[in-house]
Structure 1
Amino acid sequence: MNLFQIRKGQLVYHNNELHRIYAVKQMYKQSVHAIRLRDLEQVLTTAPSVEKYKPKEGDSFIFHRKPYTLVKRQAVEGDSILIHNPKPDPLDTYSLHEIDVVEEADEKGISTSRSFGLRHNEYLVMAPGRAEGSRPIDRKQPDGTEDTDVAEDEHHFEHPEGDVFPKVGSIYRKKDTKEFIETMVIAIEGQRVYLGGGYKVTQKEIMDKDRWEYVPNSFPQ
């Protein structure tokens, strides 16, 4: 692709894997800043090294170590959604291909955990798992061969102890207190995880679902 074709939010293939562009910095040699959906790994690259992909109903992919299939239906509370057709009002802040979680839904639309108000035609629901007959889009496979690495990852990610993988930049919500506390991982040193606000926990503690809840859309916008 040429740099002038690159837009924030586009899904692209880079090194054969699916990424989302979160920034374009024209003054830098590696001007395209993207994040790999499979594990939220950030990369810096150039426009010629990426290839645009437009997601559609029936596609399946791994997002943050869990498989999902895109389906077209009205979302309900708790659903994860992909904003594929953004029509924001002047004061709205959401953009193309952001991922969020539904907090409220009615006949007119939904509101999300990040206070986005969306109409039903602006998103696709990310149904957990790979639906039978879905099109895996994790990697671009010109020869049509099975992507064994993704299949192995998918099996691993469904392990009950593999639900949460703390990474720098991930957002967590504290559950064992009446006070609302939401904080970001700012550093990881061995088994120690450092959070904003002065919190220090072990990886075992932050993976305890009774104490901490991962906010699943915590990646650069």
Structure 2
Amino acid sequence: MKLYQVRKGQFVFYENELYKVYSINPLARKSVHMYRVKDMEQATGKADELTYHRPQHMDSFMFYGKRYTLREDREPEVDGFVLVTKPDPEPMSHYGLNEFEKVDQLEGKTVLTSRQNIIKRKEFIVMSDGMDEGARDISYQNPEIVTEDQLEADRRLERKLSREQEIQPNIGDIYLNLHDGSRSMVVAVVEDDVYLGHGEKFPIRELLNSDHWTLVYVNTDFVL
């Protein structure tokens, strides 16, 4: 289904690949700002270039280099991920449509996430590791036109991102903020703190939190 009105958080297909909308600028010619779910690569497009997809049970896709299957028939686990498909946040919670949330604690039928959000069971689908038997791969809108070279590139991407997630921040590395789509460069690392180009200071452990930040560029010319 083509989109003419776009909502933040929607899953869409753009140029045959799965993206998520993170911002809309109605004054721009290409008003829809997205990131590709498999690697967080950003793109901009127009609403009529997109095809809407509503995530559902047994959909499978790669999220930042790792394969998951959406399961309504499984219960969340600590340190696992859930996808918020029917957001109904409490007053002190901050999340929206199709947020990726990491489970920190289980509290009956609700979960407390690593971002301190309390999410009710009816609001999310569990993200099960791997591609389960009978799952539908939604990484591409039309798998028939995907070349073997693209599939091999996906396999290389998975290996590359797996290695990068183990890397400590270095000066010149660039991180993507998963909540507002902004990018920031590491300009200093002092003991257990990291300083970003726009002036913010964080503990290193917060920058390495995959729920908040994603490494999108590794500066191989400078190693601490």
Q: Same fold (TM over 0.5)?
A: yes
- Whole-Å Cα distance in 2 between the matches of residues 140 and 194 of structure 1? 41
Aligned-pair CA distance for 1:153: 4.5
Q: Which residue of 1 aligns with 2:220?
A: none
AA of the residue aligned to 2:175: G
Q: How does 1:127-142 map to 2 (within 5 A)?
A: 127-141=128-142
Query: In the TM superposition, what is the alpha-carbon distance from 1:132 to its structure 2 partner?
Result: 1.7
- Map 1:83-122 onto structure 2 (within 5 A): 83-122=84-123
| Compared CA separation, residues 198 and 18, structure 1 to 2 (3 A) | same
Matched, 1:164 2:164: yes
Q: What whole-Å deviation, never above 9, does each CA across 1:70-99 have from its counterpart, x for those lacking one?
A: 112221211111111111234432100010
Distance 1:126 1:157, change over 3 A: farther
Match of 2:211 in 1: 217
CA drift at 1:33 = 0.5
> Whole-Å Cα distance in 2 between the matches of residues 161 and 34 of structure 1?
19
Counterpart in 2 of 1:24?
A: 24
Output aligned runs, 1:62-101, within 5 Å. Answer: 62-72=62-72, 73-101=74-102
Identity %: 28
Letter in structure 2 aligned against 1:32: V
Cα-to-partner distance string for 1:33-61 (whole Å, 9 max, x where unaligned): 11100110011111111110001110100
CA distance in 2, matches of 1:134, 1:86: 24
Q: Is the 8 A contact 1:138 1:150 kept in 2?
A: no
Partner of 2:59: 59
* Secondary structure in structure 1 of the residue aligned to 2:12: strand
Write the distance in 1 (CA, Å) between the matches of 2:161 and 2:16.
28
Aligned to 1:181: none
Farther-moved stretch of structure 1 (34-43 vs 152-161): 152-161
Is the Cα contact below 8 Å between 2:3 and 2:52 reproduced in 1? Answer: no
The root-mean-square deviation of aligned C-alpha atoms, in Å, is: 3.1
Tell me how far apart the structure 2 counterparts of residues 213 and 219 of structure 1 sit (CA, whole Å): 6
Deviation at 1:212, TM superposition (A): 9.4
Q: With the length of structure 1 as denominator, give the TM-score of the two structures.
A: 0.74
- 2: CA distance, partners of 1:120 / 1:149: 40
Give distance in 1, aligned partners of 2:153 and 2:128: 18
Contact 1:13–1:51 (CA under 8 A) maintained in structure 2:
yes
Partner of 1:202: none
Unaligned runs of 5+ in 2: 168-172, 197-204, 215-224
Residues 169 and 33 of structure 1, relative CA distance in 2, 3 Å threshold:
same
Deviation at 1:145, TM superposition (A): 6.1
Q: Distance in 1 between matches of 2:33 and 2:161?
A: 31
- The structure-2 alpha-carbon separation of the partners of 1:94 and 1:161, relative to structure 1 and needing over 3 Å to count, comes to closer
TM-score normalised by length of structure 2: 0.73
For residues 96-122 of structure 1, give each alpha carbon's deviation from its aligned partner in whole angstroms, at most 9, with x where no partner exists: 001011000121300101111101111
SS in 1 for 2:122: helix
Structure 1 CA distance for aligned equivalents of residues 140 and 206 of structure 2: 32
Which 10-residue stretch deviates more, 73-82 or 8-17?
73-82
